[in-house]
Chains A and B, each alone.
Chain A
């Protein structure tokens, strides 16, 4: 049996007295697209941020690609990783944020080539031609030299996706990628994500776009109050949810 891409075992996380994650168990297989849905404050984003160690978990264990997040095991001891080692692991996981977070002082192209050159130490020429191809793929081949504030929200988010892909990640995390967009710009970002999914990228998507989840996800996980309420194929979750809470949430949102 192969190890899943992401495996969470009783993951707990608190901010002070507030318990945000209360023992999360879930797996993501290689090539799977998993959508995390649930009301705001249910811990979806926090869980996502724990996966690439932007937040540190307080209890349980979280494995990404077979490695324990934030630790290194030698014998029966766990050694906390140094920032430098955490960075190396993070570079294998792409992340797309709700608020895009493009580097404001760099053009679209500079945004995409920065990390591969700086972190992976790859030659500039090779990285640049790859970056141009990536930006072309997300439909922005003609906006290479535009600064983020000259791009629409949808265009910025597509650059952000290209920037994450430039690192050749094994796993992509999307944290409400369309929530900050004007309604007419949502489609262009979802289209890019759809084509990524079709290419077999392993993706975890926190989203409120139920139609996208229904159409693209292999598995939908419904979270509420820091716990996984139920998970399963989209047909089951959207068609015949087992839990009252899931039913109540879906009736409110659709």
Chain B
């Protein structure tokens, strides 16, 4: 590199060697320049990919249509069975409630983790360590069997007055065990998402707010969290979709969610595959709705930030991102 530069400076390499070597360049017909046609670059890879994918699609569609074991009539007959719809209702409710608990808990945990007070950030760290470090299935069974560990739940001041006293067997139903298990676990995962969101907000924002005389709580509420939401929403959508499917674990503690209720039918009729397809159809349908809602929320919080957003169909089926026009 150095040698080249030195030679250039000396004038050994002529500046535009091509012009001298190819005098014909000067003789082009200027008058006809505007009539030239542009030949776009050929993309044979696209056509090959299209052919391969079309063949695969035909093969798949043929298999699905002609294989009698799918029993599509059974699928459609059971899609709106009252038992299935009841299971679906429980699955939806558990998803919403557990995510609600998780989100509220996660904001508290994230703020504790960021706090300089060691009596707040260390306990929050321990919480995350425990709930992320043990399988959710184990946690669900543990909460369900809490009565073996603590037969009586007492809320009050130790050695002082009692405000509440109740039998753990009555309080911990399969239902509350599921909510506790899923919600507390989700809180631990979401806490890291919220923390990442808070840390993504430029330090200068907090500094400007402090310089204006805002107090730490006000800065968090008015300046930091509203901007963190933009970063928090996409992974939260992911977590919600994950939660929808994670609720199927509650069938181990005898709660009749969507999966459990299709299994009650198939265990009677032995139509395992078509009834699993019923469950899949519902899970897919709800995931699609959630994806659409997520897109809406993202657009809402993109205010003041020209961010790259993706359309609903692209989010569903992939494709390249488009810039949000403003």
Contact = CB atoms under 8 A, between A and B. Distances in A.
B304 A106 contact: yes
A115 B227 contact: no
Contacts of B222: 114, 118
B218 A149 contact: no
B309 to A, nearest CB: 15
B213 A119 contact: yes
Contacts of A106: 304
Contacts, number: 78
A101 B204 CA distance: 6
Interface in B196-243: 202, 204-205, 207-216, 218, 222-223, 226-227
B326 A150 contact: yes
A88 interface: yes
Contacts of A52: 211
B208 A101 contact: yes
B303 interface: yes
A93 B212 CA distance: 8
Interface residues of A, number: 34
B165 interface: no
B213 A88 contact: yes
Given A87-B215, A105-B227, A119-B213, A97 B304 contact: no
A87 B227 contact: no
B120 to A, nearest CB: 15
A151 to B, nearest CB: 11
B305 interface: yes
Nearest to A114: B222
Given A97-B204, A118-B218, A149-B305, A54 B210 contact: yes
A43 interface: no
A92 B212 CA distance: 8
Nearest to B306: A149
Interface in A43-99: 52, 54, 83-84, 87-95, 97, 99
Judged by DSSP, the binding face of B is helix
Contacts of A164: 211-212
B207 A54 contact: yes
A104 interface: yes
A103 interface: yes
B304 A147 contact: yes
B304 A104 contact: yes
A102 B304 CA distance: 11
A106 B210 CA distance: 17
Given A54-B207, A105-B227, A105-B304, A119 B212 contact: yes
A104 B305 CA distance: 7
A97 B207 contact: yes
A90 B326 contact: no
A151 B257 CA distance: 52
A140 interface: no
A97 B208 contact: yes
Nearest to A167: B212
Contacts of A234: none
The residue in A87, A93, A99, A163 that gathers the most chain B C-beta atoms within 10 A of its C-beta is A87
Give the top 7 A-B pairs by smallest Cβ distance, nearest first: A91-B213, A101-B208, A147-B304, A115-B212, A101-B204, A95-B211, A119-B213
Given A115-B213, A147-B303, 8 more contacts: A89-B213, A91-B213, A101-B202, A104-B202, A114-B212, A148-B304, A160-B208, A164-B211
